[in-house]
């Protein structure tokens, strides 16, 4: 009799486990927009201690004089463009966009510069004007 009780108890436990494993609970996954903990404990130093954390903030000081674009801005290849400093790159982009009637205007030079910086690394033989204007410059 004792064996029958143990077998029956074991069957009840197995049946309960099988039923419990097959059950799903309806609902939605909780989502949050709160920032989590920092991923690392490294610290960075800035050239200007009071500079904002905004990565789109200008990297030059307000006293820097504007840099003139190179004379061949419309025919400048991406390989040559990548070799320029940041201020000259920006001046090149503004020169290319100043008289154009494309989707990008001179006021959007930062967007155009980001595009040129990214694409020129993959197409070094193209001209910057071709990338920004979508055609061969005049």
Q: Is the pLDDT reported for residue 118 higher than 70?
A: yes
Mean pLDDT over 6-23 rounds to 67
Q: pLDDT by residue (tens digit) across 25-53?
A: 677 776 677 777 777 655 555 555 554 45
Q: pLDDT by residue (tens digit) across 45-88?
A: 555 555 445 555 555 444 456 777 777 888 899 999 999 999 99
Q: Is the pLDDT reported for residue 5 higher than 60?
A: yes
Residues in the chain: 138
What are the structural domain ranges in the chain? 73-133
Structure tokens at 56: 């789109």
Please report, in angstroms and rounded to a whole number, the separation of the first and last CA atoms in the chain. Answer: 101
Query: How many CB atoms sit inside 10 A of residue 60's CB?
Result: 12
Model pLDDT, residue 61:
45
SS3 labels along 61-96: CCCCCCCCCCCCHHHCEHHHHHCCCHHHHHHHHHHH
């Amino acid at each position: 009799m004792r064996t029958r009780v143990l077998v029956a108890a074991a069957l009840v436990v197995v049946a309960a486990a099988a039923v419990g494993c097959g059950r799903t609970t309806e609902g939605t996954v909780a989502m949050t927009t709160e920032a989590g903990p920092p991923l690392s404990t490294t610290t960075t130093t800035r050239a200007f201690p009071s500079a904002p954390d905004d990565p789109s903030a200008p990297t030059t000081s307000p006293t820097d004089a504007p840099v003139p674009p190179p004379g061949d801005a419309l025919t400048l290849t991406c390989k040559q463009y990548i070799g320029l400093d940041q201020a000259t790159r920006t001046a090149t982009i503004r020169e290319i966009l100043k008289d154009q009637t494309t989707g990008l205007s001179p006021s959007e030079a930062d967007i155009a510069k980001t595009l040129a910086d990214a694409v020129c690394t993959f197409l070094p033989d193209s001209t910057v004007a071709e990338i920004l204007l979508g055609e061969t410059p005049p």
